[in-house]
Chain A
Amino acid sequence: MTSTLPAQARFRYVLRLADTSLVLGQRLGEWVGHAPALEEDLALANIALDLIGQARLLLAYAGEIEGRGRDEDALAFLRDAPQFCNVSLAEQPNGGFGRTIVRQFLLDAWQLELYEALAGSADARLAEIAAKALKETRYHLRFSAGWLVRLGDGTAESHARVSQALAALWRFTEELLTPDALDEQMAAAGVAPPLATLRPRWEGRVAEVLEEATLKRPEAARHPWHGKRGVHTEHLGHMLAEMQHLPRTYPGARW
């Protein structure tokens, strides 16, 4: 079934998954040495490493589909922002700890639904990667949802900070759930779930945690950002400059 899909479409779709994990992992990595407590420093680094591990498997697979000899490193370090296909929410800056938690929670809840569905993908390789990532994502969500409840239902200060972060990041969630032509093509081929089936599950899960966290779902209009099509906010380029600096300055450098 998947063989009837053009390789270019499969390549682009796998890149969306890969880049979202890669960019989010890199963002979390920025916390190393700066988290509010040693234990949280390790927790964020562990999640970052899970995400980068997912990205490596997915990028390697994307490189094989593309068939032009680009490996995971070439795809991670030698592409510019417009070639990245991550959802825009993943590239948003860390801000404070509360903002990082809100971003993480919204994406964990989404990745959980997505990987659960992808574990039954018609693409066997993708199904395998999703099954492995699913276990990691369950822990990520436990962590981020737990913190969101603590901060939302915490002090007046922590409540205000996560409310603000939620209001600021909410507009990026529409992209997670709005299919474009590529999403529809993948869904039709049984490679990916129709995003319409993810929406009620994601919204239900988010509503449940927000309620426990005594947070209101923002009224703010959601806007269909197009990170997955390569149209990014200004933040991605800066992040990539730091992430890609070393391999671009010293091509082929090894430890």
Chain B
Amino acid sequence: MSDDWPLFEVFIRARSGLEHKHVGSVHAADARMAIEHARDVYTRRQEGVSIWVVRSSEITASDPEEAEALFEPARDKVYRHPTFYAIPDEVKNL
């Protein structure tokens, strides 16, 4: 039966204030059923307070073939990391 059902990606918020994190996927006939399946599969041990589901087919992913074009240009721009600033001794929390 589940072969006929589309795949949904599941995102769980562990606690109020935290972001939803991807935890896995479930098969379901529609979004309502996907929420129920996610609840039964991924929150059995009190892992969450909120669930998002989204059809996997609705997710647009970057193409691995384009990885060089997309990510390589950032490699030689280490100055974008804020590690070149002298931090005054007086600053405790940064």
Contact = CB atoms under 8 A, between A and B. Distances in A.
Interface of A: 36-40, 42-43, 46, 142-143, 146, 150
A42 B42 CA distance: 10
Contact of B37 (A36, A43, A142, A150): A43
Given A46-B44, A150-B29, A38 B2 contact: yes
Contact of B33 (A36, A38, A42, A146): A146
Interface of B: 1-2, 5, 26-29, 32-33, 36-37, 40-41, 44
A146 B28 CA distance: 13
A118 B32 CA distance: 30
A46 B27 CA distance: 18
Cβ-closest 3 pairs across A and B: A37-B2, A39-B37, A36-B1
Given A39-B28, A46-B44, A150-B33, 20 more contacts: A36-B2, A37-B2, A37-B5, A37-B27, A38-B27, A39-B26, A39-B40, A39-B41, A42-B37, A42-B40, A42-B41, A42-B44, A43-B37, A43-B40, A142-B36, A143-B36, A146-B32, A146-B33, A146-B36, A150-B29
Nearest to A142: B36
Nearest to A44: B40
Nearest to A154: B29
Nearest to B30: A150
Contact of B36 (A36, A38, A43): A43
A150 B32 CA distance: 11
